[in-house]
Amino acid sequence: MPRGGDPRFGADADDTDCPILHVDMDAFFASVEVRRRPELRGRPVVVGGVGPRGVVSSASYEARAYGVRSAMPTMRARALCPGAVFLPPDFAQYSAASRAVMQIFRDVTPLVEPLSLDEAFLDVAGARRLLGRPARIARMIRQRIFEEQRLTCSVGVGPSKFVAKLGSSRAKPDGLLVVPADRVLEFLHPLPVGALWGVGERAAEKLHRLGLSTVGDVAAAPIGMLRGALGEAAAAHLHELSRGRDPRRVNPEQAEKSIGAEVTFDDDVVDPVALRRAMLSLAQKVGARLRAAGHAGRTVSIKVRLADFRTVNRSRTVDGATDVAREIFETSWALFTALQPGARAPGGATEPIRLVGVRVEGLAPAGTLPRQLALGAPEHGWREAEAAADAAAARFGRSVVRPASLLGGDDLRRTENRPRPGVDPLSDPRTPS
């Protein structure tokens, strides 16, 4: 049954002409952490930057009961839920769990469109003859994810992507909701205008000023009224959605365009050694994520944000595709040193830096883009060493194998917003228990 117990949209509702599924993992990062640490089950768990400038990436439903939400500053989350367990993210673990979940989807249908690590659209029209009706397929997917991955998900079943995604959000947590094709407007029209795809806070405020508070209000409003408030394109978009019209197909070719990592320092940094080590750590993360995703890219970019929030981006396209952290670091550090971020402060010191980021763009499956070895470089070397480190990290944790320059010293650990190596976050005095 959906949240609220409305039988019109329960798991046994009519799913005729409802070939689209939206599967959304429940509190994904937090759930993977609880799976790794069963003693945390039932406790509020928050994943994200653990420093004073950190941001929440994921919160368990126990933490959400206190008002903790994704994208919230960690300091705010600590104030709302001081008894929560705060953990730094481990994207290698989340990527591995995501690949396993996506494989379950692809066992059902090749028409899978991932939106992120933890959600995807599926078109199951072609799977009906073999596996049954869409709601039955949704139940099977949920069961497999729970039995094989010990994780839960919520699924929306509907005639379009927009309706299916709304369905999964209203089935949370750990639920299944079916929106019959002939009841789409019954489902949509009572919802708040913020449920419409593309309506953020500002657009919602404009609609509210026009007296439009529900999706049904938007559907009944003259298109000219919407144009005057939102512009031609947005008005047409919302007019169609409010009537349940969404012609977009599930696109399995939707490819990830870039993979990156960035860090906001707990305190603004001027020390070039600390900056170099931070960027090396970021390059290590990006390389690991590229290899985990089976991607390589030709363009390396950096982002630098100064203490006054001025932000500068630079990029360089290299000769061959790479997923090697050493090569990513060498290119990103060359970009950084050439940039000389910020004007020089009085006395010759570099302006304080608030954030740095490293990203690889122009992605394609590893091996499909040309890879060019440096003159005299061995055919095997850094990539093989890093792949071996990946295997060790998958078994023992990412902190087991790290570059020697990242060992020791508290400045980098603060930079990475992570607990000290060898210290259980549950017993770390900086982490509430």
Q: Which of 119, 351, 386, 416 is catalytic?
A: 119
Q: Counting every residue, how long is the chain?
A: 433
With beta carbons less than 8 A apart as the criterion, state whether 76 and 108 touch. Answer: no
Q: Say if 431 falls within a structural domain.
A: no
Q: What is the pLDDT of residue 386?
A: 64
User: In this structure, what CATH number is given to the domain that contains residue 217?
Assistant: 1.10.150.20
| CATH number of the domain where residue 32 is located | 3.30.70.270
Looking at the structure, tell me whether residues 172 and 203 fall in a common domain.
no
Q: What is the pLDDT of residue 253?
A: 67
The verdict on residue 429 lying in a domain is: no
- Residue 95 · residue 292 · CB < 8 Å: yes
For residues 80 and 218, membership in a common domain is answered with no
Same domain, 287 and 318: yes
By CB atoms closer than 10 A (0-12, 13-18, 19+), residue 300 is: buried
Name the residue range of residue 200's domain: 192-242
Q: Is residue 411 part of a domain?
A: yes
Q: Is 267 flagged in the annotation as binding?
A: no
Residues 280 and 318 in one domain: yes
Regarding whether 345 and 291 lie in a shared domain, the answer is: yes
Q: Say if 94 falls within a structural domain.
A: yes
Q: Is the domain of 182 the same as that of 197?
A: no
180, 214, 242: which is the final residue of a domain? 242
Asked, for residue 150, whether it belongs to a domain, the answer is: yes
Q: What is the pLDDT along the chain (433 residues), one digit of tens a residue?
A: 345 568 889 888 999 999 999 999 999 999 999 999 999 999 999 999 888 888 999 999 999 999 999 989 999 999 999 999 999 999 889 999 999 999 999 999 999 999 989 999 999 999 988 899 999 999 999 999 999 999 999 999 999 999 999 999 999 999 999 999 999 999 999 999 999 988 888 889 999 999 999 999 999 999 999 998 888 888 999 999 999 999 999 988 666 678 998 888 888 899 999 999 999 999 999 998 888 778 889 899 999 998 888 889 999 988 778 999 999 999 999 999 888 765 444 444 468 998 999 999 988 777 655 554 444 444 445 566 666 665 555 445 545 455 555 544 433 333 333 322 333 333 232 333 2
Q: Sort 243 into a burial class: Cβ within 10 Å, 0-12 / 13-18 / 19+.
A: middle
Q: Would 108 be classed as within a structural domain?
A: yes
Residues 308 and 407 grouped into a single domain = yes
pLDDT value of residue 202 = 86
205 and 341 inside one domain? no
Q: pLDDT value at position 362?
A: 86
Which residue is listed with tokens 């806070």? 201
On whether both 317 and 398 belong to a single domain, the answer is yes
Residue 402: CB atoms within 10 A of its CB come to: 16
Q: In CATH, what number is assigned to the domain containing residue 353? A: 3.30.1490.100
118 is known to lie in a ligand binding site? yes
pLDDT score of 7 = 80
Residue 119 annotated as catalytic? yes
Q: For residues 110 and 162, state if they share a domain.
A: yes
Overall domain count for the chain: 3
User: Based on the domain organization, do 170 and 205 belong to the same domain?
Assistant: no
Q: Contact 195/26 with Cβ under 8 angstroms? A: no
**298 and 270 within one domain:** yes
Residue 135 lies in a domain: yes
pTM score of the predicted model: 0.68
Residue 430 lies in a domain: no
